[in-house]
Structure 1
């Protein structure tokens, strides 16, 4: 857990120009460190703001040196916390459990945040904290993640029969055949309201889904979307995770176009030292406001009418 500033520890300097957020929503970030701890330092300096909350999860596969480096780096920041790793690997079986732990931790540690955003150390912000909070303040009650109906796709998500490991049967048929639940495919990237996090953390409905997904081979790619899109909890869901996925095979012109569209909060899997053109494009657009995009919106649980 974070502690008050240690007088014996040198004060770190972060980028704060045009980054002070006043009278806007507060974001609680959950950041998993696993892939590139060095990149985390670069990302965190850009992301950090005294008005937000940060919960850091250091994967148990990271070395002791990395853990000590991160803890030393953040020890004097009173709004930064560390979630115990519980020796859980960040694979699909545990990702949703780790996220539920993170949501519960953040709900308990502070009543002042409004949105939950999960990141890893392969993310980098495309927008300042002011612009991100401004956008979310103008779109309150919106939840953001990617989803699609599993029944419309031929997916490689299966349910394992523990008595017959040679037989793998489709998750939809195995787990949901006797219910009215529609299984949705998604990814692990979430931008959720505080109320949605409270529902996921404490609703008895969620216990039923945890049991359903206990035998699924890829639970984290479906768990949150399936719960939020099937429950009777009142919410607005936008089919967009606000992230750009960088790919070396993608033409640089297309990546620049996505950045300039001002429709995303973050970019993933990009080495910032690899392309100065992309770096400059990010900086040029960093303080520009996010544009409202006509996303696919589901208003679920409203007026007892679920729209899918």
Structure 2
């Protein structure tokens, strides 16, 4: 794996003037485990910063691309990936080399990448991050209005929402939002990720449990009588769900209710996800402006037209409209494709 300050020689072996591997092995053979950990920690903190900063100070983006082939569009990127763009929100605050390698791993020209750079990060890291994203002006950027993150309070959730907002403003083409931090590496390819997300068919990936949630993370009663749920901060949301998070009054009310409690990023999305009746929209919903139906008059037609209107507003991708009542059961599988655009309407003289 290529890292700053290391180059591959003709045999493909990694060489480095800092002899990192020798240092680690010598410590392992001759020093105590605690000494090894101290030395490794020190090595990790200081190994790349000075060298990387020197590199960036003199390198152009063209030079960077020439020396880091992973950023070139690969032949292996297929139409499925190009037609299914993903938005990544990534929280970072240190270790530029690791962040750069993460971007190297997940970068595709059709995806979008928002890096929330902690306001409390050191100025050298901020400088290097800005240099990196400036080489990708079309789809990689630093979040606007960054917050100074304190782990455990609402600042983490604010950072996540800031990237969501910026990604929505940047493009309406992406299909899913994926949350990461600069400490993580994806263990799947972009194609595998696209295939998995496509199979979700608009659903979200949010962990959740209602079993003995940490009570210090919630008010005594949530608004709308919603049930309390706990999750991790790792989420995958559909484009539609992200819009709901940022724009709905329900979401804003829940954010306010959790604002002053511990780790709201681990409860906010779970509360929305698992209280489906009132929260995240899926492909099942109640019609707006329902009418009081009287059988035999125009109210039935009004009810049908109301559902049609709501369905058209929800998505323009549906191929056919099928009308049913709660008294009926379908006894066939989907065969509408065979109609080839024709309609099924009974008629009597």
Give the shorter-chain TM-score range. 0.5 to 0.7
Cα separation, partners in 2 of 1:210 and 1:195, compared to 1, 3 Å: same
Equivalent in the alignment of 1:79 = 139
**Is the alpha carbon distance of 1:232 and 1:218 closer, same or farther for their aligned partners in structure 2, counting shifts above 3 Å?**
closer
What residue number does 2:282 align with? 235
Partner of 1:109: 170
Deviation at 1:39, TM superposition (A): 1.0
Residues 1:182 and 2:227 aligned together: yes
**What is the correspondence of 1:202-221 to structure 2 with a 5 Å cutoff?**
202-221=247-266
Question: How much does 1:43 deviate?
Answer: 1.5
Q: Name 2:118's counterpart in structure 1.
A: 59
The answer to whether the Cα contact below 8 Å between 1:30 and 1:54 also exists between their aligned partners in 2 is yes
Structure 2: how far apart are the matches of 1:104 and 1:64? 25
Q: How does 1:131-170 map to 2 (within 5 A)?
A: 131-149=192-210, 152-153=211-212, 155-158=213-216
> Cα distance, 1:190 vs. partner?
0.8
Instruction: Output the aligned Cα RMSD.
Output: 2.6
Give the 3 Å change call, closer, same or farther, for CA 112–215 of structure 1 in structure 2.
same
Distance 2:76 2:95 in 1: 25
Quote the Cα distance in structure 2 between the aligned partners of 1:8 and 1:45.
Answer: 14
Q: Unmatched 5+ residue regions in structure 1?
A: 1-5, 160-170, 237-302
Report the equivalent of 1:42: 101
- The normalised TM-score by structure 2 is 0.57
Ranges in structure 2 where 5+ consecutive residues have no aligned partner: 1-58, 284-324, 327-349
8 Å contact kept, 1:148–1:186: yes
Cα deviations across residues 3-28 of structure 1 (Å, max 9, x unaligned)? xxx98753423425465242342100
The answer as to whether partners of 2:157 and 2:265 remain within 8 angstroms in 1 is yes
Distance 2:233 2:61 in 1: 39
CA distance in 2: counterparts of 1:233 and 1:44, whole angstroms: 30
Aligned counterpart, 1:163? none
Structure 1 residue runs of 4+, over 3 Å off? 6-9, 16-19
The correspondence for 1:69, drawn from 109, 128, 134, is 128
Q: Deviations over 1:122-168 (max 9, x none)?
A: 1112111122112212332121121101xx22x44416xxxxxxxxx
Q: Which SS does the other structure have where 1:31 is aligned?
A: strand
Supply the distance in 2 between the matched residues of 1:98 and 1:8 (Cα, whole angstroms): 28
Q: Which has the larger radius of gyration?
A: 2
Counterpart in the other structure of 2:333: none
What residue in structure 1 maps to residue 239 of structure 2?
Answer: 194
Structure 1 residues 30-89: Cα deviation after superposition (integer angstroms, max 9, x where no partner): 111125332111211111111211111111222111111122122121210110353431
Q: Write the distance in 2 (CA, Å) between the matches of 1:8 and 1:221.
A: 38
Structure 1: distance between partners of 2:214 and 2:256: 20
Report the count of equivalent residues: 217
8 Å Cα contact 1:118/1:190 also seen in 2? yes
Q: Is the 8 A contact 1:18 1:130 kept in 2?
A: no
Separation (CA, whole Å) in 2 of partners of 1:51 and 1:79: 8
Partner of 1:259: none
